[in-house]
Homo-oligomer: A and B are copies of this chain.
Amino acid sequence: MPTLKLTIEYDGARFVGWQVQPNGPSVQQALVDAIEKLCGERLRVTGAGRTDAGVHARGQVVSISPVKELPLKAWTAGLNALLPETVACVSAETAPEGFDARRWARGKRYVYTLKLSPVRSPLWSARAWELRRQVDVAAMQQALGHFIGTHDFSSLRAADCPAKTTVRTMSRLSIDADARADGVWHVSVEATAFLKHMVRNLVGTLVDVGIGKRTPESMAALLAARDRTLAGPTAPPHALVFDEVFYLPGNADPYANPGALDEDDADA
């Protein structure tokens, strides 16, 4: 029984999110259905990240353990023929036994896109949060340093976040101008794991800094307070892309290594 690692891209606009839910189509359900059609097995499909309604993915990773053995190319070609247009299987690899896309992940990157312009943008409206007012990106950039490193991120978690622990390590956080589109900025966040709505609450808080509602220096006190009600609004989901998941080389088992950290992950 092989274990497979599938990399999945999707346009989240018309999904209720990654996870199977009673109120509409989920990406996970689309995968369960396509896999069943391909190999005749109704499998457990574990995703590395539980993205919310409207959030996109360029590099969601899922693990499955089918009984049936198919060539890897049959997995990608078969799934891409069976999945809806808005979901694609980018690659299929064999993974070590026991590989779990979520638990074995050592880190993830999310990218959030802002469009800063006084007028609306037909070419970016579906993929960027349009802020039609003065935004001080330099102030936002000054705020970033407060979040980098290991912190208790309780102030940025959703009220219903199920995670048991709230300490996460944010290894990178940057805001960069798009090379091709005026006024388009990408907030890129890498961390060991995320709390529910953590990226969107972070972006909402950074935008508060950009519009002068908060100072960059106030971020330290915000984190120290560990109180969600003190942070900024949750940025809208349509501008967020789950970009990449990081594993050990060879998708190795991190728990075989005694130093491995098991942060429970509730997602962005």
Contact A123 B76 (CB under 8 A): no
Q: Pick the contact of A122: B88, B118, B186 (CB < 8 A).
A: B88
A157 an interface residue at 8 Å Cβ cutoff?
Answer: no
A221 at the interface (CB under 8 A from B): no
Asked whether B179 lies within 8 Å of A179 as measured between CB atoms, the reply is: yes
Complex Cα distance, B87 from A9, in Å, reads 28
- Against B, the Cβ 8 Å flags (1 = close, 0 = not) of A52-88 are 0000101000000000000000001000100001111
Knowing A111-B180, A180-B186, say if A123 contacts B80 (CB, 8 Å).
no
Contact call A123/B90, Cβ cutoff below 8 A: no
Contact between chains at A119 and B89 (CB < 8 Å)? yes
A243 to chain B minimum Cβ distance, whole angstroms, is 8
* A11 in the interface (beta carbon within 8 A): yes
Copies of this chain: 2
Cβ of A42 under 8 Å from chain B: no
**Contact between A11 and B123 (Cβ–Cβ < 8 Å)?**
yes
Which chain B residue shows the least CB distance to A188? B180
Is A165's beta carbon under 8 Å from chain B? no
Contact (Cβ within 8 A) A122 B10: yes
Interface string of A83-102 (1 = CB under 8 A from B): 00111111100000000000
| Residue numbers in B under 8 Å from A172 (CB-CB) | none
Residues in B with CB closer than 8 Å to A58 are 123, 181
Chain B residues with CB below 8 A from A88, complex form = 119-122
Q: Judging by beta carbons under 8 Å apart, are B76 and A90 in contact? A: no
| B86 touching A122, Cβ below 8 Å | yes
Known contacts A111-B180, A179-B179, A180-B111; A9 and B56 CB within 8 A of each other: no
Assess the B123–A9 pair: CB atoms within 8 A: yes
In the bound complex, what is the Cα–Cα distance between A91 and B183 (angstroms)? 14
Binary per-residue interface labels of chain A (114-145) against chain B in the complex, 1 for a CB within 8 Å, 0 otherwise: 00011111110100000000000000000000
- Chain B residue numbers with a CB within 8 Å of A119 are 76, 80, 88-91
Report A's interface with B, CB cutoff 8 A.
Answer: 9-11, 56, 58, 76, 80, 85-91, 111, 117-123, 125, 179-181, 186, 241
5 shortest interchain CB distances as A-B pairs = A11-B122, A86-B122, A88-B120, A88-B122, A10-B122
